[in-house]
Amino acid sequence: ASESAAKLPSKILDLMDGFKASKALFVASKLKMFDYLKTKGPLKAVDVANEVGTSVCGTERLLDACVALGLLEKTSQGYSNTDSANTYLTSDGEYSLHGYIIHSNDHLWPLFTNLESAVREGSRQNHRAFGRKAEDLFKDYYHSQEVKQRFMAAMHSIAHLTARDVATAFDLSQFKSTCDLGGCTGALAHELIQIYPNMKVTVFDLPEVIANISYFQPSEQCAAPVTFVSGDFFKDNLPEADLYILSRVLHDWPDEKIHVLLSKISAVCKPGCGILLAEMVLDDEKKNRSTALLQSLNMLVQTEGKERSGSEYRGLLEQHGFANVKIKLTGNLLDVILCIKT
């Protein structure tokens, strides 16, 4: 018995606990405990419970779990944030992931509850999770101001965290103008202007998104303003640009829709101009990167898209006259692919 006890399947046991750990993080974030601890910590459990309006016994257990998960510190004075909680978990942290955490709790969690049905049926589960059949993924997000704000905050938090690595993965100085198609809040666009102050940067997104961007604009003055244009990239004319960016856009769609979009871009793209993709790029054998492979399940439960490998992206791009496809794995959440129109 002692021999089998020594060989605990710790990886499997950790995975079995994964959902409890995720939910503990989500609930502590939703209750803004990291925000209170940043401004008022160290605090005892009873003080956090009073600030938040929760039970003392439940709050103490949640805080202790967060300590054990490495999110908080506990001393005789009480609980306080780790440095990483201050940076990533507070809602105003420099690289706050608060928006994505709330999106994960409120939107992705109900969808993942239906993962079994998604796998059985091979299709998205919005109708089961939210009782509404979505004709279009983004109509589903933009039907209410609250859901739209939450989705945009989620996109913004990851875009802000990855923007520098995406913008610097390749030297883009040859491109005088850039259009970030589906560029949402403009987080990547602002980073591009920081790095290439002479670049003319346009963000193109659906009218519902463009109407809601002001909340997400940086408070400091940028070197040059980002231009925001509203439209539908499947139907409307695309703004002119030397470089078209598609960041976390292609993974939302099936190949047929991607062909429509890439052929539209190809039609307006002059030789020497390019496309830059930012996506989680899978390895060709699709076996090594659990974050990206789990993200592909995330696409299954809510879209008709999926994550793809470098060869799959190369194949899609080459069919539309884009060559010299270069793939850079950044080590950040998003990788970058650059190609040039021949």
Amino acid at 278: A
- Residues near ligand SAM (CB under 6 A) are 138, 155, 158-159, 182-184, 205-206, 209, 232-234, 247-249, 252
User: Which residue lies nearer to ligand SAM by CB, 183 or 310?
Assistant: 183
Of 160, 251, 259, 320, which one is the catalytic site residue? 251
Separation CA 180–CA 228 (nearest Å): 10
Q: How far is CA 339 from CA 252, 253, 310, 316, in A?
A: 20, 20, 12, 11
Which residue, 38 or 264, has its beta carbon nearer to ligand SAM?
Answer: 264
**Following DSSP, what letter does each residue of 229-271 receive, concatenated?**
EE--TTTSPPPP-SEEEEES-GGGS-HHHHHHHHHHHHHHPPT
* CB atoms closer than 10 angstroms to residue 86: 19
Shortest distance, CB of residue 158 to ligand SAM, whole angstroms? 6
Min separation Cβ 232 and ligand SAM, Å: 4
- In the complex, the smallest distance separating the C-beta of residue 234 from ligand SAM, rounded to whole angstroms, is 5
Residue (19 or 234) nearer to ligand SAM, CB = 234
Dihedral (C-alpha) 99, 36, 87, 172: value to the nearest 10 degrees? 40
Q: Give Cα separations from 276 to 183, 285, 299, 305 (angstroms).
A: 12, 23, 21, 19
Nearer to ligand SAM, 58 or 207 (CB): 207
- Tokens standing for residue 122: 């091979």
CB 36 within 8 A of CB 89: no
Comparing CA positions, the residue from 216, 229, 230 lying closest to residue 151 is 216
Task: Kindly state the smallest distance separating residue 210's Cβ from ligand SAM, in Å.
Answer: 9
The minimum distance between CB 185 and ligand SAM, in angstroms, equals 7
Comparison of 80 and 298: residue with beta carbon closer to ligand SAM: 298
Largest alpha-carbon pair distance within the chain?
70
Q: State yes or no: is 251 an active-site residue.
A: yes
User: Is-contact 158 165, C-beta < 8 A?
Assistant: no
Q: Which residue is nearest to ligand SAM (CB)?
A: 182
Residues noted as catalytic: 251
